[in-house]
Amino acid sequence: MSIFGHPDCNSWASLLIARPSGKFFPLLPDDKKFDNLFGEVLAKIGGLSLVNDDAGTPPYRLAGVLFQNPLLAVRLVVRMARYLSSRKAPREILRSLARGQVHTLGVGMHNFMDASMVARADTDPVIKARLDSCVFKGAVKRNGEWQAVPMCSMNQQTWSEVYEGRLQDPELLKEPQVFAPANGASNGASNGH
């Protein structure tokens, strides 16, 4: 499991999925020693994008960074080999890995704070820390400037402010309204068709 943002807010688990059987196995061990090693790897890869593309380059990008740090790469490979063999990964996973017929599935969990919690941010340092380290934000334009607002704050108050502003905007009031009947429209049964 990986944590991003504040640990009270987000967590992420990745699974290895064998094709075509669908058997799965956790990609990363739940182990403090591995967490430290994984932290070192993340510090080295920094902002490297591992988003897949049509050319399938993410593994090569990651390998390039690891080849620049060979001791770290060896430690990672040894730890992952131990993990896959000691946790008794399904044989199908190991065969699929060897054939290159495995993909990953990421499962993200987000623990939103409710409005009453967010309202206490000025007096509760944990809530303030959660908002300050938020990685899930909405963009809001205020005084002509775009701002990133933590989603819990968006849900607690900002959406109400945005909608209230839109409802008061005279230009938006001139636009056709969704629930307003079109000119000349009746119940639809009287036009002879």
pLDDT at position 126, please? Answer: 93
Better pLDDT: 33 or 130: 130
Which tens digit of pLDDT belongs to each residue from 84-109? 887 677 888 888 888 888 888 888 88
Buried b (16+ CB within 10 A) or exposed e, 30-51: eeeebeebbeebeeebeeeeee
The Cα–Cα gap between 181 and 171 comes to: 19
Which range of residues forms the domain containing residue 71? 10-110
pLDDT at position 188, please? Answer: 46
Of 72, 87, 110, the residue that ends a domain is: 110
Whether residues 132 and 69 share a domain: the answer is no
Whether residues 103 and 131 share a domain: the answer is no
Which residues are paired to 109 by β-bridges? 11
Better pLDDT: 49 or 125: 125
Examine residue 32 and state whether it is found in any structural domain, yes or no.
Answer: yes
Count of domains for the chain: 2
pLDDT at position 114, please? Answer: 87
Of 77, 110, 143, the residue that ends a domain is: 110
What values do phi and psi take at 22, rounded to 5? 85, 0
Whether residues 26 and 96 share a domain: the answer is yes
> What does the DSSP assignment read for 118-169?
HHTTTT-HHHHHHHHT---EEEEEETTEEEEEEHHHIIIIIHHHHHHHHHH-
Whether residues 55 and 90 share a domain: the answer is yes
Examine residue 190 and state whether it is found in any structural domain, yes or no.
Answer: no
Whether residues 144 and 53 share a domain: the answer is no
Which tens digit of pLDDT belongs to each residue from 5-64? 788 888 878 888 988 888 888 888 877 888 888 888 888 877 777 777 788 888 888 888
Whether residues 120 and 71 share a domain: the answer is no
Altogether, the residues listed in the chain come to a count of: 193
The Cα–Cα gap between 185 and 189 comes to: 10
Whether residues 68 and 123 share a domain: the answer is no
Whether residues 104 and 16 share a domain: the answer is yes
The Cα–Cα gap between 43 and 61 comes to: 15
Whether residues 168 and 152 share a domain: the answer is yes
Q: Is the pLDDT of residue 66 over 80?
A: yes
Examine residue 179 and state whether it is found in any structural domain, yes or no.
Answer: no
Q: What is the residue-averaged pLDDT of the chain?
A: 81
Whether residues 84 and 155 share a domain: the answer is no
Examine residue 186 and state whether it is found in any structural domain, yes or no.
Answer: no
